[in-house]
Amino acid sequence: MSTWLEPKPNHFESPLPDLDPIVADRLSRLGLVSEQQILAFLDPTHYNPTPATELTGLTAVADRVESAIRNRESICVWGDFDVDGQTSTTILVSTLQELGARVTYHIPVRIPESHGLNIPYLVKIIENGTKLVLTCDTGISAHESIEYANTRGVDVVITDHHDLPPELPRAVAITNPKFLPVDHPLATLAGAGVAYKLAEELFSRFGLLNSAEKHLDLAALGLVADLAVLQGDTRYLVQRGLEALRNTHRLGLKILMDTAELNPEHLTEEHIGFVIAPRLNALGRLADANDAVEFFTTSDSSRARVIVTILEGLNAQRQLLTSQVYAATESQIQKDPSILLKPLIVLAHPDWPSGIIGIVASRLVDRYHRPVILLSNPPDEPARGSARSIEGINLTAAIANHKDLLLSFGGHPMAAGLSMDSDKIAEFQRVLGKTIASLKPEMDIEHVIQIDKVYALDELNLDLADTIEQLAPFGPGNPKPVLASNDLIIINSSKIGHHQDHIKFLVEDSTGSQQTVLWWNAGGEELPEGRFDLAYNLRASDWKGLRQIQMEFIDFRVSVDEQVQKKASDIEIVDYRDNDDSLSLIKNFPGGTLVWMEGEEKSSLTHRLNKVNPTIKIADRNELIPSACFAIWTPPASLKEFKNALEIVKPGQIILLKMSPLTVAPETFIGQLMGLVKYSLNHHKGITTYSALAAATSQRERTIHSALSWMIFQGQVSISQEAGDEIKLQKGTSLKDPIQAGRIWDEVRSLLEETLAYRTHFISADKKMLLP
């Protein structure tokens, strides 16, 4: 379970008075209080980017590369197979080609080469005439390989961002943001950011100022995919890179976004992290990432489509393998719950694909809030693994304390790769666990969630989502605001995704307002029961072209309202929902029983039921009165209607009769409403009420409002007068607008589906779960 911290009072007065309070509060907590600081954070045009030459060692790297270009030496760009490595390689290869260099490139194939420079392939490129090896996103720990290159008279220059080893390799030049103070604006660059700054410097030396900007899209891809901390120039590059991605000239990316049904106009860092990057990473995890350079640079439509098809296939394979490995890790934990009593989780299996376990490790970190190491240990081979950490634990530094047990390791504070002999796994887990515990002794304290603000469900809309989006891009260093809504129930739920990995569920609050929530990677999780409070992120989504808000699950806690619980416990519920003979039951109802019935059923059945039992009273929502016994024939249209009814009737006993969910197509509902409108026009001079129309159709008043708006924009009716609940209708309108009518039609359809969902819940849920 998690501990929620309620919103903190913040009395900061922003120098920009037009900022929404949730934006101003977040900025102040990030330490951004001056007008210039705030503008530079929100708008990249107000940020002053740091000169590339402030990156330690970059000038020396650029000197050697410039010399190779001018002297026509053969250069090999050596990258890595993740997205950061793919984009870094492409940035440097494209830059060198544009500057007239003789350039080749190599990205290691995960199996058999693994990460980093390896001597067998170095031999090949040297024999093919390479005179300079330029690394990107790798090389900082490649001592042996660089020594070999030196013996062959081949220079190596390193651009990397991974943690520095105790002793640096003997390369000609090294640039790495880890040389900088932690508060330097270039300190959090990942490999693609370092490659971009080198390209910036090289272009300037050849008189091509600003030419590096054509690679901003790739820089953003690499930085976001590698979870770089979004501060200083890193945030600036991602902001500008996202704008470049929305207008990218790269044919491969255009086709990939089209295939994935992404609207480039609204592309965010989330689309990179959860749609684009996983497809590109699948290439490096399961195949050959060298194809990524061609993917980013090709102008051949046919070839681009072939590569996208390959990416889609590999991504589907990656999703299946990830689901299987995740299920296997959970099975190990269930069989041995003591695993969760330790400061870190270490699991191994001989059949786990090494290219997948990093993804699963990240999911386990999210679930259990502690560092995770997963290892693949086939027989007679070293165990190779991926490590993922939590905020506050530099996992690579912790691992380095026990390097005597390892064959190799490398990484950065939040992620690492490592290998060891399988018989060393238990000892490694024991000693690393002690180190982790010493670094964070409070590890076993409940996970803490800071709530930024509490909202009612009816306050959630696109305007709010767009306001929050001012703070984007989100990620390490700038987490998404956490919102909360209280006193919710689940109306329905379903598993979604190719492998049923995610859950979508509809929630409703005590006012009857409803919203849909997405719980990612929750296929095996249990949904909350009863009333609960929900913590979530809010963003705008344009899935399948429909722009709407999207609530993303973070956590829940049980919501207990003692007063409501006491009221509910005093009501007896008699459940006859499985009894098909409602007429016989009604015959024996005590005198004065109030039967709630609405819609066409009320007009057609009232006379018949009064003959069966003349002592009962049949009423819709507008006719309810206090009654000791309250029978429900028509399921309520929403929790709000049910709650309002209970507050009026104040029953001691509720009788649930056999009910139908009253499935109604939008066309049928509009036909019913139009008949009521015509009756009002012909018999009551067009005067009616929203509540009367809602009861007569057995729908929510909100649905009536939307449906009448549709009729208005269709040119069928108009509202000449409105006073509270009462309205006066007239035939025809001057506001005919088919486009607006089409938008409202979708809203009517959605409202009807929400009511159907609640009614389906009402007729099937445990009776104890029905009371508000």
Helix, strand, coil percent content, the chain, rounded in steps of 5: 45, 20, 35
Q: Please check whether residue 48 lies inside any domain of the structure.
A: no
- pLDDT at position 123 is 96
Q: Please check whether residue 489 lies inside any domain of the structure.
A: yes
Residue 493: give its domain's CATH number: 2.40.50.460
Residue 641: give its domain's CATH number: 1.10.10.10
The helix (run of H) or strand (run of E) holding residue 729 is strand 726-731
Q: Please check whether residue 404 lies inside any domain of the structure.
A: yes
Report yes or no: 152 and 177 within 8 Å, Cβ to Cβ. Answer: no
One domain, residues 649 and 546 = no
One domain, residues 374 and 408 = yes
Q: Please check whether residue 9 lies inside any domain of the structure.
A: no
- pLDDT at position 410 is 84
Q: Give the CA-trace dihedral at 389, 390, 391, 396, to 10 degrees.
A: -20
Q: Which two tokens stand for residue 521?
A: 């990677």
- pLDDT at position 526 is 86
Cα first-last separation, the chain: 25
- pLDDT at position 566 is 40
| In the block, residue with structure tokens 């009501």 | 571
Amino acid at 666: P
Omega into 473 within 30° of 0, i.e. cis? yes
One domain, residues 618 and 691 = yes
Q: How far is CA 16 from CA 35, 46, 59, 133, in A?
A: 7, 14, 39, 50
Instruction: Name the 3-class secondary structure at 71.
Output: coil
One domain, residues 540 and 588 = no
CA distance linking residue 186 with residue 194, whole number of Å: 9
Residue 487's CB is within 10 A of a number of other CB atoms, namely 19
Q: Please check whether residue 606 lies inside any domain of the structure.
A: yes
One domain, residues 395 and 475 = no
One domain, residues 503 and 644 = no
| In the block, residue with structure tokens 């009551």 | 684
CA distance linking residue 512 with residue 701, whole number of Å: 11
Q: Which domain holds residue 507?
A: 451-560
The total number of structural domains in the chain stands at 4
* Residue ending a domain, choose from 388, 412, 446: 446
CA distance linking residue 596 with residue 577, whole number of Å: 15
Q: Please check whether residue 42 lies inside any domain of the structure.
A: no
Burial of 138 (0-12, 13-18, 19+ CB in 10 A): buried
Question: Hey, which residues does 3 pair with through a beta bridge?
Answer: 448
* Residue ending a domain, choose from 560, 587, 603: 560
The helix (run of H) or strand (run of E) holding residue 737 is none
Instruction: Name the 3-class secondary structure at 445.
Output: coil
CA distance linking residue 52 with residue 732, whole number of Å: 67
Q: Which two tokens stand for residue 409?
A: 């390791």
Q: Please check whether residue 35 lies inside any domain of the structure.
A: no
Q: Which two tokens stand for residue 712?
A: 């208005």
CA distance linking residue 188 with residue 461, whole number of Å: 34
Q: How far is CA 11 from CA 32, 387, 471, in A?
A: 14, 41, 19
Q: Which of 433, 446, 442, 448 is nearest to 371 (CA)?
A: 433
One domain, residues 149 and 231 = yes
Residue 253: give its domain's CATH number: 3.90.1640.30
Using alpha carbons only, give the angle 122, 125, 127 rounded to the nearest 5 degrees.
105
One domain, residues 375 and 263 = no
One domain, residues 685 and 738 = yes
Report yes or no: 206 and 220 within 8 Å, Cβ to Cβ. Answer: no
The β-bridge relationship of strands 173-175 and 155-159 is parallel
Ranges of residues in the chain with a pLDDT under 50 are 441-445, 562-568
**Residue 577 DSSP symbol:** T
Q: Which of 182, 178, 172, 253 is nearest to 216 (CA)?
A: 253
One domain, residues 718 and 757 = yes
Q: Which of 611, 617, 604 is nearest to 583 (CA)?
A: 611
CA distance linking residue 489 with residue 507, whole number of Å: 5
CA distance linking residue 621 with residue 701, whole number of Å: 11
CA distance linking residue 34 with residue 36, whole number of Å: 5
Residue 420: give its domain's CATH number: 3.10.310.30
Q: Which two tokens stand for residue 423?
A: 């018989």
| In the block, residue with structure tokens 């220079």 | 155
* Residue ending a domain, choose from 498, 528, 560: 560
Report yes or no: 238 and 227 within 8 Å, Cβ to Cβ. Answer: no
CA distance linking residue 438 with residue 346, whole number of Å: 17
Compute the residue count for the chain: 772
CA distance linking residue 323 with residue 320, whole number of Å: 5
Report yes or no: 486 and 520 within 8 Å, Cβ to Cβ. Answer: no
CA distance linking residue 316 with residue 304, whole number of Å: 18
Q: Which of 716, 676, 714 is nearest to 696 (CA)?
A: 676
One domain, residues 541 and 469 = yes
Report yes or no: 465 and 549 within 8 Å, Cβ to Cβ. Answer: yes
Q: Please check whether residue 767 lies inside any domain of the structure.
A: yes
One domain, residues 285 and 424 = no
